[in-house]
Structure 1
Amino acid sequence: MKTRKAKEQIVKELKEKFEKASLVILTNFDGMTVAESNKLRRSLKEVGAEYKVVKNTLMRYAYPGTPVEQIKDAFTGPTGIVFAFDDIVAAAKALKEFFEEKDSKLKFKAAVVEGKVADVEMIKQLASLPGREELLGQLAFTLKYPVNAVAWSLDNLFQKLVTVLENVKAEKESA
């Protein structure tokens, strides 16, 4: 049994996570094995997200004043929480894969994305977006393209100039 001080520390940490997380998803993990739970934790950790299971009574002390308060009615039964702080798309993708596994017992309860309540369809749409790395690659290409276009145009211009000068030289030599 945890001491009052330990419980207060858990509530404080949860409140901080509820305030900082860009994505908070509540799940029902009823019937999951320890191996499945560990697999879920690993897949989320790989993308910078976190999965926690805490008693609902402690969560009820942590959510007041945070965006998670909007989904307080979902804190019933066995509840696991997914926290994503940076790359919410990657976390949504990892969770979606887990939801869609053949024998997955993990169930969606509720979610808050960037301070707004979201349903399972919104999480699936979020998971279908390009990830952070892909978006950064697209941005790099977009920033690089104009520079490449100017370089190509200048190179093409110089080639045309050389061709014109060679034609002028050939005309003067033949005259």
Structure 2
Amino acid sequence: MTREEKAQVIAGLTEKFQQTDHFYITDTSGLTVEQINKFREMCFKKGVEYKVVKNTLIKKALENLDNDYSSLDSTLKGFSGIMFVNENANIPARVIKDFKKEDKDQRPKFKAASIDSDIFIGEDQLEILSKLKSKQELIGEVISLLQSPAKNVISALQSGQHTIAGLVKTLSERE
């Protein structure tokens, strides 16, 4: 790869990192071509972009960003693939977990992730990341919590209305 080609890759990666809120770094070494293709297909179906890039190029692209990603340097060894997603930060973690269920060797290995500039390093973080809720899910929960007291008041008033009407009817019939 020439210097110009490397510069283009670094520029493209820098732009991708700037446009993407969430990215994961994985290690898919040891997988067969068939397994890699299946993993890429799972990523594509879930709206996750997966690229394999040299570690030095990833480091240089991350250095071009405003945030400090130096803590990821220790993870950028060996074989690295990057998973980009804009919407739900938990989708790549779920893809990795789903693929691991089918693979006996427990590949791909999760190295690190950046979720809204927060860094998660290590395989033990994968479970936490897979349970993250999307912004829409959190907003939905807040709205349902806010609606709950109003619904309780309305249902109490409606049930009371029937009780009061029944009570008045019974009293009027007693005369």
TM-score by length of 1: 0.76
Alignment match of 2:129 (pick from 126, 131, 134):
126
Task: For 1:95, give the aligned amino acid.
Answer: I
Say whether the 8 Å CA contact 1:90–1:132 is kept in structure 2. Answer: no
Match in the other structure for 1:19: 18
In 2: Cα distance, 1:115 partner to 1:106 partner: 23
In 1: Cα distance, 2:60 partner to 2:155 partner: 62
In 2: Cα distance, 1:14 partner to 1:3 partner: 15
1:28 Cα shift? Answer: 2.0
Cα separation, partners in 2 of 1:160 and 1:25, compared to 1, 3 Å = same
Task: For 1:122, give the aligned amino acid.
Answer: Q
Say whether the 8 Å CA contact 1:40–1:98 is kept in structure 2. Answer: yes
Q: What residue ranges of structure 1 are gaps of 5+ in the alignment?
A: none
Task: For 1:111, give the aligned amino acid.
Answer: A
Instruction: Provide Cα deviations, 1:49-86, integer angstroms capped at 9, x if missing partner.
Output: 22111223432331104344321233232211122322
Match in the other structure for 1:37: 36
In 1: Cα distance, 2:31 partner to 2:51 partner: 14
Task: For 2:34, give the aligned amino acid.
Answer: A
Alignment match of 1:166 (pick from 166, 169, 173):
169
1:105 Cα shift? Answer: 3.8
Cα separation, partners in 2 of 1:72 and 1:112, compared to 1, 3 Å = same
What CA RMSD, in Å, does the superposition of the two structures yield over aligned residues?
A: 2.9
Task: For 1:17, give the aligned amino acid.
Answer: K
Instruction: Provide Cα deviations, 1:113-143, integer angstroms capped at 9, x if missing partner.
Output: 3323322212222214456776566455434
TM-score by length of 2: 0.76
Q: Secondary structure at the match of 2:91?
A: helix
Cα separation, partners in 2 of 1:29 and 1:8, compared to 1, 3 Å = same
In 2: Cα distance, 1:99 partner to 1:132 partner: 26
Q: Secondary structure at the match of 2:90?
A: helix
Match in the other structure for 2:145: 142
Match in the other structure for 1:106: 108
Cα separation, partners in 2 of 1:50 and 1:88, compared to 1, 3 Å = same
Moved more, 77-86 or 112-121: 112-121
Cα separation, partners in 2 of 1:127 and 1:143, compared to 1, 3 Å = same
Larger Rg: 1
Say whether the 8 Å CA contact 1:90–1:131 is kept in structure 2. Answer: no
Moved more, 41-50 or 162-171: 41-50
